[in-house]
Structure 1
């Protein structure tokens, strides 16, 4: 009888799976933002902190020459919040910034639509004109505007005289209403280029197929604008409107130079010029710092709704 020898055991083993190489560790986005945060803390944190501390002190001209400030607690805030003139300035500033921001966005939207409908040459000319107006230094442009509204030999009164309106010797800067009309026109003129170019950049991202389909379906220009174009560029419009509200609330140079050109300062103050008068003019840096903190809180309140909407969109 024959027997078969048992087969030798298989000593071969399957090779252990090779672990994939670990990817190199990379800096996370949080780490990459640290330098920017440090720069912001140094550039903005110190001035804001100084303003907060000074708002609780009596800080005048004597302190500018080395005398230690006196801690007064909430006295600066109590004195300001009970001052009716401050609330008049706050209300005036809010109305001015809202009106100017809305007019700026409406005019900028119209110019953006005009650039989208114009030919290549017309669009290029309009863009160059907007960029030149935007790039002009504020002081240089205010020199021109001050000459235009000058009551002695200004261009505005001369043009009105040419069309039969008796405006000889009329000072547009004496009356608060006409003063703020002039200031509003200047602020809008300086802000429109940014808004128009920003909205036009948003318009260039719209799909031509969507607009063509709407036109084929019989939608006219107004319907396309209302139901397609405006909803699609609404995020761009909202952000430029928010920026304009913040910038127009902090307007200073235009109003200050118009006041120096003939405006009545006490009747035409906005928050920026009011802070300047309290601090540099009257030497009360403690009260000026308190108004600055109030202005900061108003700015945060104006922008909080939009910031909260952005945070909701970023939340998964």
Structure 2
């Protein structure tokens, strides 16, 4: 695993394209690729906002929805808890490519059930292509990510909920604490480490999403407003044959993910100490 990372870094220090692939000769240009990455307006106006803002919103949505499902499952009996758990695991087991094409079909401009439903209800007169606008594009990606990611959060949080001492919840209820107060003042403090783990892992996954964006109409680079770091690196490398520049983008994404991973490892170590 280490050697491909080293190679990507070496490519990022070269003007590496088809000529270099054929000749096998390196064409070193130092940090020129990194300078171009950081001086490209598209990075600051499109790519980083799409990557960072989307990750923050998707993590918040995934954790909130997954926690709500976990609370629901904790209130069920063993039989129905097994049924619900098995049902939501289908969403988690679905491959990202398959799930993405399902959402593309739902919002398809011509045959999508979403447009057909809105027209049947009289809420719109003609079909709308929801993939051309940057915000509706990422709203569909958000639904895809939450749908695919919430089962992991739900099962993990459920395991933590079942470990919360019932005596603490009963004592809080006797003291007059309502459901919301019991959740935030009793359950959340007990699950602090669990929430830290699911938030950090979800952040790592949502920062590096690729298939869910690339496979959407326009997500492969034709709609430049939809680019994120992962897709931008791929498009520049394999679409424009600028492997050095694409590698520099990949290195930038890797450094961001390494920083998040360091936080994750430190959180795990603290949990073990406790």
Give the TM-score category using the shorter length: over 0.9
Change (3 A) 1:279 1:105: same
Higher helix share: 2
The Cα shift of 1:220 comes to 2.3
Structure 1 residues without counterparts, runs of 5 or longer? 1-43
Aligned to 1:46: 3
Change (3 A) 1:64 1:259: farther
Higher relative contact order (CA 8 A, sep 6+): 2
CA distance in 1, matches of 2:267, 2:79: 39
Aligned counterpart for 1:131 among listed residues 85, 89, 97:
89
Residue 14 (structure 2) pairs with residue 60 (structure 1): no
Query: Higher Cα Rg: structure 1 or 2?
Result: 1
Residue 84 (structure 2) pairs with residue 140 (structure 1): no
Aligned to 1:256: 214
Given that residues 173 and 264 in structure 1 are in contact (C-alpha distance below 8 angstroms), is that contact kept between their aligned partners in structure 2? no
Bigger Cα displacement from structure 2, 84-93 vs 116-125:
116-125
Aligned counterpart for 1:76 among listed residues 20, 30, 33:
33
Aligned to 2:146: 188
Aligned to 1:299: 257
The TM-score, its normalising length taken from structure 1, stands at: 0.81
Residue-pair matches, total: 273
Given that residues 173 and 263 in structure 1 are in contact (C-alpha distance below 8 angstroms), is that contact kept between their aligned partners in structure 2? no
Within 5 Å, give how 1:81-230 maps onto structure 2.
81-88=38-45, 89-166=47-124, 168-230=126-188
- What secondary structure sits across from 2:126 in the alignment? coil
Change (3 A) 1:121 1:161: farther
Change (3 A) 1:186 1:60: same
Change (3 A) 1:261 1:167: farther
RMSD of Structure 2 on Structure 1 (CA): 2.1
Structure 2 residues without counterparts, runs of 5 or longer? none
CA distance in 1, matches of 2:160, 2:125: 43
The Cα shift of 1:114 comes to 0.5
- What secondary structure sits across from 2:216 in the alignment? helix
